[in-house]
Amino acid sequence: MKEIKKDVYWVGKVDWEIRKFHGDEYSTHRGTTYNSYFVKDKKTAIIDNVWSPFGSEFVENLNKQIPLKKIDYVIAQHAEIDHSGGLAELMEIIPDTPVYCTNNGVKSLKGHFHKDWNFVPVKTGDKLSLGKKELTFIEAPMLHWPDSMFSYLQDENILFSNDAFGQHLASEMMYNDLVDQAELFQECIKYYANILTPFSALVEKKIDEFKSLNVPVDMICPSHGVIWRDNPLQIVGKYLDWSKDYRENQVTIVYDTMWNGTKTMAEAIAKGIKLVDEKAAVKLFNISRSDKNDVVTEVFKSKALLVGSPTINSGILSAVAGFMEQIRGLKFKEKKAAAFGTHGWSGESVDMIGKGLESAGFELLDEGIKSTWNPDEKSLRECTEFGKEIAKQTKI
């Protein structure tokens, strides 16, 4: 239990070990934290808790410091089990304690735990007085689940933002000003790119809505990673930048290859891009050997994405297919794209990737470039010309 402001305590768990999150969907190279907060006044409230495997540890630790029966309110800002996993055990001990959450939170918590707890559904603007301190609830649907909400603690000027503004970063340092800044912002942008990209319009709207409340913010306390206490609104500014179809002068080339033909094409295309725009960052990833979430982060930063695969069984390689599904769901906007690949016989891969890119919301620059067998010097010169054309069409 660590006091982060007067009578406000962090009671979460630092998970140094986790390397995969959401099953295998999200890599957590730097671990994570499950942040839970305890607020003490005449009445007390616990805000969010921890992932299920740490539920017993969480309840035991909490019990050593706070008689659990003295918890007056449970605030469940989001039902996903990395924030609600400790609820089952906690509610065994305090079964009648009201659980404050959104209407969707009630559905989701019931769906997860199959219990009819004393739910109190809340809407934006609803308040809960703890004595001198008061919590105001702000629904945040699709940031990132339909049930998500924030809570603002008046008097201490803290925004509890749940997943928003969080990062998967295990640290004992607790605060944003005490950790490596490059690591911190890398984890923030990765989180945004992989989780929040489809909801960017809502991010902007929610930030505007919160700003219009015109309340002071001394701290932003997300439910993963470090607490923003030094210039806390800096992460809000970053989210606003990222929500506006973010792109840097970068082209990302993602491919898989069987006998290095498609890889050779990728390198020749990259050469062409650099010949036209030497300042552009050009990054190549063999998707079957790369971390998919790191690659998505690079796509997020890019003005253009090129995707390559040889043709196999009239289709594309499975690692490329998985990547295509990933970017389909993320709904990137204002990014250009093209396809490339080798084939021996039928050669469907380039058309298939092109269609996939288009339906994922990318602006397709042309029909793509194909090469047969092992690309010869003429083919590679054509790839370099193709790269030059891409660079001209995407120059910013």
Catalytic residue flag (residue 172): no
Distance CA 59, CA 68 (A): 8
Give the three-state DSSP class for 140.
Answer: coil
Residue 327 corresponds to which tokens in the numbers above? Answer: 């970017």
Catalytic residue flag (residue 83): no
Among residues 61, 4, 79, 65, the alpha carbon closest in space to that of 37 is found at: 4
Segment interacting with ligand FEO, rule: CB under 6 A, options 77-85, 351-359, 363-371, 388-396: 77-85
Q: Is 168 in the site for ligand FEO (CB under 6 A)?
A: no
Residue 39 Cβ, how far from ligand FEO at the closest point, in Å? Answer: 20
Cβ atoms of residues 370 and 340 within 8 Å:
yes
Q: Is 343 in the site for ligand FEO (CB under 6 A)?
A: no
Beta bridge partners of 342: 371
Q: Which of 15, 41, 48, 82 is catalytic?
A: 82
Peptide bond into 22 cis (omega under 30): no
Q: Is 382 in the site for ligand FEO (CB under 6 A)?
A: no
Q: Which of 26, 37, 73, 78 is catalytic?
A: 78
What character string, x for contact with ligand FEO (CB under 6 A) and - otherwise, covers 213-242? ----------xx------------------
Segment interacting with ligand FEO, rule: CB under 6 A, options 75-83, 151-159, 245-253, 266-274: 75-83
Number of residues that bind ligand FEO (CB under 6 A): 9
Catalytic residue flag (residue 22): yes
Residue 256 Cβ, how far from ligand FEO at the closest point, in Å? Answer: 30
Nearer to ligand FEO by Cβ, of 163 and 382: the residue is 163
Q: Is 15 in the site for ligand FEO (CB under 6 A)?
A: no
Catalytic residue flag (residue 112): no
Cβ atoms of residues 380 and 268 within 8 Å:
yes
Distance CA 91, CA 95 (A): 5
Token pair 């300042």 is found at: 279
For residue 254, which amino acid is it?
Answer: V
Q: Is 144 in the site for ligand FEO (CB under 6 A)?
A: yes
Distance CA 80, CA 58 (A): 16
The CA distances from residue 244 to 2, 135, 139, 221, 357, in Å, are 36, 30, 22, 24, 20
For the segment 297-316, give every residue that binds ligand FEO (CB under 6 A). Answer: none
Residue 137 Cβ, how far from ligand FEO at the closest point, in Å? Answer: 17
Angle at 30 between CA 109 and CA 32, to 5 degrees: 25
E strand spans, 73-139: 73-75, 99-101, 119-121, 127-129, 134-139
Instruction: Give the N- to C-terminal CA distance of the chain in Å, as an integer.
Output: 50
Segment interacting with ligand FEO, rule: CB under 6 A, options 78-86, 208-216, 289-297, 302-310: 78-86
Catalytic residue flag (residue 168): no
Side-chain-side CA neighbours of residue 304 (13 Å): 27
Q: Which of 34, 37, 191, 246 is catalytic?
A: 191
Exactly one of 15, 147, 163, 389 binds ligand FEO (CB under 6 A); that residue is: 163
Residue 222 Cβ, how far from ligand FEO at the closest point, in Å? Answer: 9
Among residues 349, 247, 382, the alpha carbon closest in space to that of 305 is found at: 247
What character string, x for contact with ligand FEO (CB under 6 A) and - otherwise, covers 80-99? x-xx----------------
Catalytic residue flag (residue 343): no
Would you please indicate which residues are annotated as catalytic (active-site) residues? 22, 78, 80, 82, 144, 163, 191, 224
Which chain residues interact with ligand FEO by CB under 6 A?
78, 80, 82-83, 144-145, 163, 223-224
